[in-house]
């Protein structure tokens, strides 16, 4: 048995394990076999936050992780779809403009008129009224990131579902089990359902990630270099895995209103996942007791927060010292 066990073979658990291995530690990852939220996630890296209500301490954590992303992606040694073209925020109606303007003003982004927007993205609907380019926002393909981490860790990943932490013999246990963290630790991590679509067509229709308000509906479109466009996402306080007619309709309607040419794309995947939410929607990072450390509850920002989580948790495991940042995200705060 290794000194250190990681419970959870999703992107967070694998990234922590990889960081620990880089630093010479003996690690086993227990992967329960369920595809985590990473499998559905579009991979938007939005350090400015997705709402004007985001806690400044969380925004600082986002920014710190966004700074780590280029090095983290390069360190994986393969193409993981890291792209820094930027995100175009968009608003369709007057109400959408009012709602999005507050966020853009808070982020100090210059506003773009429809003609400027269509210079950047010619396929946009002429109905889009206002936008803003967030150059600091990036994207990555989470499925490629997980594949790269799995390759690096190889036989250190063991296919085993852990039902109780007392079944594990390791000196230190890191619980990075996403929504599965709650039954293992009693911590308040709840599943927040998201339905996500994947379309495929001619590459190059879109250049930027689009993050839009369309008649009061939120939608994002994440274009990959190979012609895939990820369309997300619903946000539902539900635990089921149903892909609903209403969910798919809502996403397709908003996507096609925004970019009418997508009507010709193939609908290649309809997927559902559960974001691990916490009561304040900030992650739970740090020591739970002598032996157990938690890295969970990343909610809508698991991919963005992967590098900083790996760094902070690996430090805590190896030195026993908690970075001061962790005080704001203690799993014992609830």
Nearer to ligand GLY, 43 or 131 (CB): 43
Residues that bind ligand GLY (CB under 6 A): 44, 194, 232-233, 275, 300
In whole angstroms, the minimum distance from the beta carbon of 288 to ligand GLY comes to 25
Contact between 212 and 258 (Cβ < 8 Å): yes
Nearer to ligand GLY, 8 or 232 (CB): 232
In whole angstroms, the minimum distance from the beta carbon of 199 to ligand GLY comes to 16
In whole angstroms, the minimum distance from the beta carbon of 44 to ligand GLY comes to 6
Nearer to ligand GLY, 196 or 205 (CB): 196
Residue among 62, 66, 10 nearest 40 (CA): 10
Vertex 235 angle, CA 68 and 120, to 5°: 60
What phi and psi values does residue 171 have, to the nearest 5 degrees?
Answer: -65, -40
C-alpha 161 chain-centroid distance: 23
In whole angstroms, the minimum distance from the beta carbon of 3 to ligand GLY comes to 34
- Please identify which residue in the block is written with the tokens 């939005």: 46
In whole angstroms, the minimum distance from the beta carbon of 115 to ligand GLY comes to 29
What are the tokens at 180? 């599965």
Nearer to ligand GLY, 156 or 274 (CB): 274
CA dihedral sign, ordered 250, 254, 255, 261: positive
In this structure, the strands spanning 130-134 and 111-112 are antiparallel
Burial label for 328, CB within 10 Å (0-12, 13-18, 19+), is middle
Alpha-carbon distance 56 to 53, whole Å? Answer: 9
What strands, in cross-sheet order, belong to the sheet with 27-31? 157-159, 27-31, 4-7, 172-175, 292-296, 284-287
Nearer to ligand GLY, 89 or 170 (CB): 89
Nearer to ligand GLY, 287 or 300 (CB): 300
In whole angstroms, the minimum distance from the beta carbon of 323 to ligand GLY comes to 24
CA quadruple 43, 46, 47, 51: dihedral, nearest 10: -130
Nearest residue relative to ligand GLY (C-beta): 300
H or E segment to which residue 119 belongs: helix 114-120
Nearer to ligand GLY, 34 or 50 (CB): 50
In whole angstroms, the minimum distance from the beta carbon of 43 to ligand GLY comes to 9
Alpha-carbon distance 84 to 205, whole Å? Answer: 17
Nearer to ligand GLY, 68 or 219 (CB): 219
What are the tokens at 23? 């630093």
Beta strands in 142-206 (DSSP E): 157-159, 172-175, 190-200
In whole angstroms, the minimum distance from the beta carbon of 77 to ligand GLY comes to 26
CA atoms within 13 A on the CB side of 142: 24
Nearer to ligand GLY, 27 or 258 (CB): 258
In whole angstroms, the minimum distance from the beta carbon of 140 to ligand GLY comes to 12
């Amino acid at each position: 048995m290794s000194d250190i066990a990681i419970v959870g073979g999703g992107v967070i658990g694998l990234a922590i394990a990889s960081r620990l291995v880089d630093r010479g530690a003996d690690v086993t990852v227990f992967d329960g076999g369920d595809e985590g939220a990473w499998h559905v996630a579009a991979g938007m890296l939005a350090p400015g936050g997705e709402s004007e209500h985001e806690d400044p301490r969380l925004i600082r954590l986002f920014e710190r992780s966004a700074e780590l992303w280029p090095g983290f992606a390069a360190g994986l040694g393969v193409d993981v779809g890291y792209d820094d073209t930027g995100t175009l925020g968009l608003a369709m109606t007057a109400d959408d403009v009012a709602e999005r303007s507050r966020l853009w003003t808070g982020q100090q982004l210059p506003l773009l008129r429809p003609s400027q927007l269509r210079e950047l993205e010619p396929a946009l609907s002429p109905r889009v009224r206002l936008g803003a380019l967030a150059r600091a926002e990036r994207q990555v393909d989470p499925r490629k990131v997980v594949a790269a981490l799995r390759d690096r860790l190889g036989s250190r990943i063991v296919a085993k579902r852990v039902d109780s932490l007392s079944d594990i013999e390791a000196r230190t246990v890191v619980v990075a089990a996403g929504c599965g963290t709650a039954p293992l630790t009693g911590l308040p991590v709840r599943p927040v359902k998201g339905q996500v679509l994947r379309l495929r067509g001619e590459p190059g229709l879109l250049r930027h990630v689009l993050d839009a308000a369309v008649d009061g509906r939120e939608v994002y479109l994440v274009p990959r270099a190979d012609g895939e466009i990820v369309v997300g996402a619903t946000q539902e306080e539900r635990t089921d895995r149903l892909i609903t007619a209403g969910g798919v309709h809502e996403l397709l309607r908003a996507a096609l209103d925004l970019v009418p040419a997508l009507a010709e794309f193939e609908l290649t995947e309809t997927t559902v996942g559960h974001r691990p939410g916490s009561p304040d929607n900030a992650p739970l990072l740090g020591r739970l007791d002598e032996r157990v450390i938690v890295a969970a509850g990343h909610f809508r920002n698991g991919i963005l927060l992967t590098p900083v989580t790996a760094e902070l948790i690996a430090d805590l495991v190896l030195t026993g010292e908690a970075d001061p940042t962790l005080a704001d995200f203690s799993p014992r705060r609830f």
